[in-house]
Amino acid sequence: MGTKAEIGTLNRSVVDIFLREMNRQGLSFRALAERSGVPLTRLHAKMRCERALLVEEINSIADALGLVGWQVMREAETAVAAKRSDSVSDPIPTIDPEAMGLAATRRDETNYD
């Protein structure tokens, strides 16, 4: 058997959204498993980030929570991107070509003959 794949930040962000919505609705794992069709033991493993969510599971769980799968993914991606930008302390500096003595040439001014 292969080794377990590490669960990424996007997967964790999706799980956070699902857990937040479950909490808001007062929904148990058992009820979510019944609504989504994802077996309870698998659902527990997914929500503890022991196993990665499959696309079909994201859609099934989102639907069971009254959410839309692609919107959950977009929200999760936005959250991950925001965390990344918050963790960057030194942004990449902008390079000024003129200050470096490099002349910028527009494509329409270049002679390709």
pLDDT tens figures, 92-112: 555 555 555 555 555 555 555
* Domains contained in the chain, number: 1
15 occurs within a structural domain: yes
Domain that holds residue 25: 9-87
Output helix, strand, coil percentages for the chain, rounded to the nearest 5. Answer: 60, 0, 40
Q: Considering the chain, what percentage of its residues have pLDDT values greater than 70?
A: 71
SS3 87: helix
Alpha-carbon torsion, ordered 67, 70, 71, 72, to 10 deg:
70
CATH number where 80 lies = 1.10.260.40
38 occurs within a structural domain: yes
CA Rg value for the chain: 22
20 occurs within a structural domain: yes
110 occurs within a structural domain: no
32 occurs within a structural domain: yes
69 occurs within a structural domain: yes
Question: In what helix (H) or strand (E) does residue 22 lie, and over which residues does it extend?
Answer: helix 9-25
Answer with the residue of higher pLDDT: 106 or 31: 31
Report the interhelical angle of 69-87 vs 9-25 (nearest 10°).
Answer: 120
